[in-house]
Chains A and B, each alone.
Chain A
């Protein structure tokens, strides 16, 4: 009884992975490895967060530079 439940659980898990992980190239019909499970686990959000942080840092730097040059332009007049 216990083993049967385990088996059923494993089978459905594999079935689920197969369902999620099967991305096919429409041209060749071959299954293609995509980051489907990565996204299902939510881990891709980590990459997005890191990139947005780097981007925010760079933009903050550019804005500060912009302001500094602006002040110099005003002071020169």
Chain B
């Protein structure tokens, strides 16, 4: 089992609109097994496009114009994601890489109970399971994320924001993937709930050992939770380093600007001229 989980080489995405937009420009990065990689940047920098692109979830007018993505499976096999056919891609998805979306109202199907939406994953990926076994898996998942098995029959609009986010995490965890990509999972949540969700993710990582890519614009948050951080701007990674390095010795000017945009909670004042 190699140290690297995911190798991205020269990945580029373009939006075929008028004028065309180069959303991701020749991005290369090696994701290490077991790490938490923070992907920071402002809106439009390409971080979400990169995350979706890796899983081939982009839709027109987005076009992948180049690059290789290789997934180094735990079994030792190397999988070229960009070369999988449709059938293989369906099987690959969620099983090896899963995604936690921003759990706002729209990420869950409003007309189906959450238990059903969790079961869906098993129906498609583990067809050999009996109905009882599927239910057992769903129950276990709901208990792991502390939503409670009795909520399986609830609809998304009946749950609070924090609970919906936990359901999203349960869904991403269902097949025990090796990589979880989290796109602004705590942005819409209050700071207390956010902290609890992060604690949960940490506990789950310890239990199940998956790698995390955490996408957000909240740099102070990333500094606290990530091993390494990649700063993105206009489709490129302008800086990549450990969180200590980024904090104490940022190299790129944009990184410095971004750091300076967050006033210190307990440090020096003077950021806002009072």
A binds B: no
